[in-house]
Amino acid sequence: MAPAAGVANVVLIGYRGSGKTSVGRAIATRLGWDFIDTDEMIEAEAGRSVREIFEADGETGFRKLEAAAIERVASGRHQVISVGGGAVLAAENRRHLRAAGRCVWLTAPAAVLHARMGADPLNASLRPALTSEGGLEEVIHVLAAREPLYHELADCIIDTESRTIDELAELVLNELGIPRSGGATQ
């Protein structure tokens, strides 16, 4: 299948809880493309959750695995790629993601992201705390530090607060001007 409208890949960036995995799967279905979640890829290859990797190898160990995963997937085509919220921290990751395709920043207010994470029963067991603050204060602090990097990388910014997964998938495709070539009906 030829790339849609000249787009090699769609890359979803944003904070944990922004909808990258759910929206990414919906977009991939619509396009008939592969869906890759780099955190899921890392967990499958390591045989451990992101939280377990952080606990055993520290953030540095996890970020090395993340960088290698991003470098591998960035060379592929016809993929919807969801990266972990902190993937944008490394300049090399940003370079690979920019080269991989069109980057979409999925956003929501910190309170919404915190509530979504709290509603996910697996979040606490599979994902590490990122600061000693925890809770909403952690989301506010970490999000503020990452926002300039998300903004730098984003080809478009989509607010996910009051939209369904299907609405968001359609909005991303419309914003990027990508015609649907397979999968679910429009």
pLDDT tens per residue across all 186 residues of the chain: 334 557 899 999 999 999 999 999 999 999 999 999 999 999 999 999 998 999 999 999 999 999 999 999 999 999 999 999 999 999 999 999 999 999 999 999 999 999 988 876 655 545 555 555 678 998 999 999 999 999 999 999 999 999 999 999 999 999 999 887 644 433
Tell me the angle at which helices 50-74 and 91-100 cross, rounded to the nearest 10 degrees: 50
d(CA 78, CA 80): 7
User: Residue 105 forms beta bridges with which residues?
Assistant: 13, 157
pLDDT at position 184 is 41
How do the domains of the chain map onto residue ranges? 9-175
Backbone CA torsion sign across 107, 110, 111, 115: positive
Distance CA 111, CA 139 (A): 8
pLDDT at res. 2: 39
User: Looking at the domain 9-175, which fold is it?
Assistant: Rossmann fold (3.40.50)
Give the model's pLDDT for residue 32. Answer: 95
Return the number of other C-beta atoms located less than 10 Å from residue 60's C-beta. Answer: 8
What separation in angstroms does the CA of 39 have from each of 2, 46, 161, 166, 186?
A: 27, 10, 23, 22, 29
